[in-house]
Structure 1
Amino acid sequence: MTVPVLDVRHLSVQFKTESGLIQAVRDISFQVPRGQTLGIVGESGSGKSVTALSVMDLIPHPPGEITGGEIFFQADTDTPAVDLRSLAPETMQKLRGDQVSMIFQEPMSSLNPVYTCGFQLTEAILQHQELSQEQAVKQAIALLQEVKLLDQDDELATTLTAENPGWQPSQVSDAVQQRQQELLNRYPHELSGGQLQRVMIAMAIACDPTLLIADEPTTALDVTVQARILDLLRELRDRRGMGMIFITHDLGIIAEIADQVAVMYQGEIVEYGSIWEIFSNPQHPYTKGLLACRPTPHQRLQQLPTVSDFMEVVPDAEGALQIREKPQDTATIQAYQTVVTAEESAARLAAITQQGPLLKVENLQVGYPVRGVLGNTRRYVMAVNNVSFEVFQGETFGLVGESGCGKTTLARSLLRLAPAMGGHVWFNGQDALRAKGANLKKLRREMQYIFQDPFSALDPRMSVGAAIAEPLKIHKVARSRRNRQERVAYLLERVGLEPDCINRFPHEFSGGQRQRICIARALALNPQFIICDESVSALDVSVQAQVLNLLKELQAEFKLTYIFISHDLAVVKFMSDRIMVMNQGKLEELGPADRIYFEPQQEYTQRLIQAIPVGNLERIQELQSARQNKLAS
Structure 2
Amino acid sequence: MSDTVLDVRNLQVQFQTNDNIVRAVDGIDFKVTRGQTLGIVGESGSGKSVTSLAIMNLVPTPPGKITNGEIWFRDAATDDRPIEPVDLLQLPPSQMRNYRGGRIAMIFQEPMSSLNPVYTIGFQLTEAIRLHRDISAAEARKQAVSSLQEVQLLPDDDKLREQAIVQLRSPGSDAASIQGKDITRQIDRIKQEILDRYPHQLSGGQIQRVMIAMAISCDPTLLIADEPTTALDVTVQSTILNLMRQLRDRRGMSMIFITHDLGVIAEIADTVAVMYRGEIVETGTVRDIFLAPQHPYTRGLLACRPTPDKRLRYLPTIADFMEVAQGDDLAEGNGNQRRTETVNPRSPQSLSSMEVEEMSEIEIATRFARLRQQQPLLVVENLQVGFPIRGAFGRTQRYAMAVNGVSFEVYPGETLGLVGESGCGKTTLSRTLMRLIEPMGGRAMFDGADILEIQGKPLRQLRRDIQIIFQDPFSSLNPRIPIGEAVTEPLKIHGRNQSRKQNRERVRYLLDRVGLNPNWIERYPHEFSGGQRQRICIARSLALNPRFIICDESVSALDVSVQAQVLNLLKELQAEFGLTYIFISHDLSVVKFMSDRIMVMNRGKVEEIGPAEMIYHSPQQEYTRKLIASIPTGNLERIGR
Q: Structure 1 length normalisation: TM-score?
A: 0.88
Does 2:380 align with 1:361?
yes
Correspondence list, 1:512-551, <5 A: 512-551=531-570
* Aligned counterpart, 2:92: 88
Report if aligned partners of 1:192, 1:403 keep a CA contact under 8 Å in 2. Answer: no
Q: How many angstroms does 1:373 deviate by?
A: 7.5
* Aligned counterpart, 1:484: 503
Does 2:316 align with 1:297?
no
Compared CA separation, residues 331 and 28, structure 1 to 2 (3 A): closer
Report if aligned partners of 2:117, 2:198 keep a CA contact under 8 Å in 1. Answer: no
Q: How many angstroms does 1:379 deviate by?
A: 4.6
Amino acid aligned to 2:105: S
Correspondence list, 1:409-428, <5 A: 409-428=428-447
- In the aligned structure 2, how far is the partner of 1:364 from the partner of 1:161? 38
Report if aligned partners of 2:267, 2:634 keep a CA contact under 8 Å in 1. Answer: yes
- In the aligned structure 2, how far is the partner of 1:100 from the partner of 1:586? 44
Q: SS of the counterpart of 1:614?
A: coil
* Aligned counterpart, 1:40: 40
Pick which of 577-586 and 368-377 moved more.
368-377
Q: How many angstroms does 1:289 deviate by?
A: 1.2
Pick which of 427-436 and 234-243 moved more.
427-436
Correspondence for 1:213 among 211, 219, 224:
224
Q: How many angstroms does 1:100 deviate by?
A: 1.5
Report if aligned partners of 1:280, 1:617 keep a CA contact under 8 Å in 2. Answer: no
Pick which of 200-209 and 366-375 moved more.
366-375
Compared CA separation, residues 580 and 102, structure 1 to 2 (3 A): same
- In the aligned structure 2, how far is the partner of 1:486 from the partner of 1:330? 26
Compared CA separation, residues 292 and 358, structure 1 to 2 (3 A): same
1:116-147 CA-to-partner distances (Å, cap 9, x unmatched) read: 55654554455445677677677667756665
1:187-217 CA-to-partner distances (Å, cap 9, x unmatched) read: 44x6665554444334333434221111111
- In the aligned structure 1, how far is the partner of 2:76 from the partner of 2:573? 56
Q: How many angstroms does 1:237 deviate by?
A: 1.0
* Aligned counterpart, 2:594: 575
- In the aligned structure 1, how far is the partner of 2:283 from the partner of 2:361? 39
Report if aligned partners of 1:12, 1:27 keep a CA contact under 8 Å in 2. Answer: yes
Q: SS of the counterpart of 1:600?
A: coil
Compared CA separation, residues 54 and 303, structure 1 to 2 (3 A): same
Correspondence for 1:339 among 353, 358, 371:
358
Correspondence list, 1:2-13, <5 A: 2-13=2-13
Amino acid aligned to 2:95: T
Report if aligned partners of 1:150, 1:180 keep a CA contact under 8 Å in 2. Answer: no
Amino acid aligned to 1:24: A
Q: SS of the counterpart of 1:357?
A: coil
1:499-537 CA-to-partner distances (Å, cap 9, x unmatched) read: 001111111111111111111111111112111111111
Q: How many angstroms does 1:364 deviate by?
A: 2.5
1:278-330 CA-to-partner distances (Å, cap 9, x unmatched) read: 12221111111111111111010111111111113699999977699x9xx99
Pick which of 238-247 and 95-104 moved more.
95-104
Compared CA separation, residues 469 and 255, structure 1 to 2 (3 A): same
What percent identity do the matched residue pairs reach?
63
Q: How many angstroms does 1:546 deviate by?
A: 0.9
Q: SS of the counterpart of 2:557?
A: coil
Q: How many angstroms does 1:69 deviate by?
A: 0.8
* Aligned counterpart, 1:288: 299
Correspondence for 1:251 among 247, 262, 265:
262
Q: SS of the counterpart of 1:225?
A: helix
Report if aligned partners of 2:305, 2:564 keep a CA contact under 8 Å in 1. Answer: yes
Q: CA RMSD in A?
A: 3.6
Q: How many angstroms does 1:595 deviate by?
A: 0.7
* Aligned counterpart, 1:350: 369
Q: SS of the counterpart of 2:637?
A: helix
Pick which of 247-256 and 341-350 moved more.
341-350
Q: How many angstroms does 1:356 deviate by?
A: 2.5
* Aligned counterpart, 2:197: 185
Correspondence for 2:612 among 590, 593, 603:
593
Compared CA separation, residues 29 and 473, structure 1 to 2 (3 A): same
1:531-569 CA-to-partner distances (Å, cap 9, x unmatched) read: 111111122221111111100011111111111111211
Does 2:230 align with 1:224?
no
Amino acid aligned to 2:483: V
Does 2:261 align with 1:261?
no
Q: How many angstroms does 1:571 deviate by?
A: 0.8
Report if aligned partners of 1:301, 1:574 keep a CA contact under 8 Å in 2. Answer: yes
Q: How many angstroms does 1:408 deviate by?
A: 1.9
- In the aligned structure 2, how far is the partner of 1:90 from the partner of 1:214? 24
Q: SS of the counterpart of 2:4?
A: coil
Does 2:205 align with 1:201?
no
Does 2:252 align with 1:233?
no
- In the aligned structure 2, how far is the partner of 1:605 from the partner of 1:399? 12
- In the aligned structure 2, how far is the partner of 1:130 from the partner of 1:57? 24
Report if aligned partners of 1:192, 1:404 keep a CA contact under 8 Å in 2. Answer: no
Compared CA separation, residues 131 and 434, structure 1 to 2 (3 A): farther
* Aligned counterpart, 1:626: none
Report if aligned partners of 2:120, 2:195 keep a CA contact under 8 Å in 1. Answer: no
* Aligned counterpart, 1:469: 488
* Aligned counterpart, 2:631: 612
Correspondence for 2:317 among 306, 309, 325:
306
Q: How many angstroms does 1:334 deviate by?
A: 8.6
- In the aligned structure 1, how far is the partner of 2:398 from the partner of 2:148? 24
Does 2:292 align with 1:273?
no
Correspondence list, 1:93-242, <5 A: 93-115=97-119, 119-121=123-125, 123-128=127-132, 147=151, 181=193, 185-188=197-200, 193-194=204-205, 196-242=207-253
- In the aligned structure 2, how far is the partner of 1:335 from the partner of 1:584? 42
- In the aligned structure 2, how far is the partner of 1:422 from the partner of 1:616? 44
- In the aligned structure 2, how far is the partner of 1:389 from the partner of 1:588? 12
1:213-267 CA-to-partner distances (Å, cap 9, x unmatched) read: 1111111112221111111111111111111111111111111111111111111
Amino acid aligned to 2:14: Q
Pick which of 474-483 and 239-248 moved more.
474-483
Report if aligned partners of 2:321, 2:353 keep a CA contact under 8 Å in 1. Answer: no
Compared CA separation, residues 201 and 440, structure 1 to 2 (3 A): farther
Q: SS of the counterpart of 1:434?
A: coil
* Aligned counterpart, 1:73: 73
Report if aligned partners of 1:302, 1:336 keep a CA contact under 8 Å in 2. Answer: no
Q: How many angstroms does 1:277 deviate by?
A: 1.6
Q: SS of the counterpart of 1:344?
A: helix
Correspondence for 1:391 among 396, 406, 410:
410
Q: How many angstroms does 1:5 deviate by?
A: 1.6
- In the aligned structure 2, how far is the partner of 1:571 from the partner of 1:517? 21
Pick which of 606-615 and 145-154 moved more.
145-154
Q: How many angstroms does 1:406 deviate by?
A: 2.2
